[in-house]
Amino acid sequence: MPGDGARSRHPWVRRATLARRRADRLPPAVRGLLWSVLSGLLFVVLNTIMRGLALELDPYQTQFLRYLAGLVVMLPLVVRSGVATYWPKNVGGQFTRGFVHTLALWLWFSAIPFITLADTTAIGFTTPIFVMIGAVLVFKEPMRWERWLAAAIGFAGVLIVVGPQLTGAGGRYTLFMLASAPVFAASFLITKGLTRYERAEVIVVWQAISVAACSLPLALAHWHPLGVTHGLLFLLCGLLGSAGHYCLTRSFSVADISATQSVKFLDLVWATALGFLVFGDLPSQFTLAGGAVICASTVWIARREARGRLQARAPS
């Protein structure tokens, strides 16, 4: 059709096509890291908005509406392609993942109104540790010494951030946030298993369906009236969350899950900046020191992963 030809010749379309071709030539580990970095940035922006909403509304209502909005945002894609296109091969697996993710979210949303964004993100960095261990035990993925070392250094940085938070009135909320980490890890491991036979788009759509369904009872029990601004913010959250989970799922599909988790420590940079700009949260010296340790481990493992893949592809 003439219209299609005109669109294909548009400069932005050509640039996007060229960029995608260049990205496809990158080693799988590097592509996985890039998808993981993008998902982390999207999730930190999402968490910033969600914390603001959880301070005004009930956390359980916020949890339900966030995933309902994600489903609403994706409905046009489902309608255009047809329901059959988005029907999963394993409905039970999708709801199992949704239930586990809902449990992790219940712990996370219980704590988020009482913990700063930077500390929330830092505590969440324990999740990759559980993911790496689970990937070795469940999927028999190779766990090279570099990944273990990067994880250990990153975890040491997290302890520097978290340690002072375990005392005082907010200690129990810090423990709630810590408890969510292994549950989120279990959800991510189930996602990795689903990527073996499900498309990323299908997993994201059914996560929204299953989590919204599992979250509904607690949301109804703690319902508060909504304003127009709340509705618009939840739609934005739905868009950010769906995009973030798509990027995360793509990272799992192109690289080892343990490799993609290494770069997640960069999220602390985004969380510290947004926490200060939006909520006026000043990072403590422990957060800054721990963040420096975490970022050092992230840069090191990313360089090692990229160099190792390039050497493996080089002709002998």
Structure tokens at 215: 């979250």
As a whole number, mean pLDDT of residues 156-160 equals 81
Q: What is the Cβ-side half-sphere exposure of residue 226, based on CA atoms within 13 angstroms?
A: 17
- Using CA atoms, how far apart are residues 153 and 172, in angstroms rounded to an integer? 25
As a whole number, mean pLDDT of residues 52-66 equals 91
Compute how many other C-beta atoms are within 10 angstroms of the C-beta atom of residue 20.
Answer: 9
- Which of the four pLDDT bands, split at 50, 70 and 90, describes residue 116? confident
Sign of CA dihedral 127, 129, 133, 135: positive
CB-CB contact of 252 with 195 (8 Å): yes
Tell the burial category of 140 from Cβ atoms under 10 Å away from its Cβ (0-12, 13-18, 19+): exposed
Terminal C-alpha separation, the chain = 48
> What pLDDT digit, counting tens, does each position of 233-288 carry?
999 998 898 888 888 888 877 777 666 766 766 787 788 888 888 988 877 788 77
Average of per-residue pLDDT values in the chain: 81
CA distances from 113 to 48, 61, 106 (A): 11, 13, 13
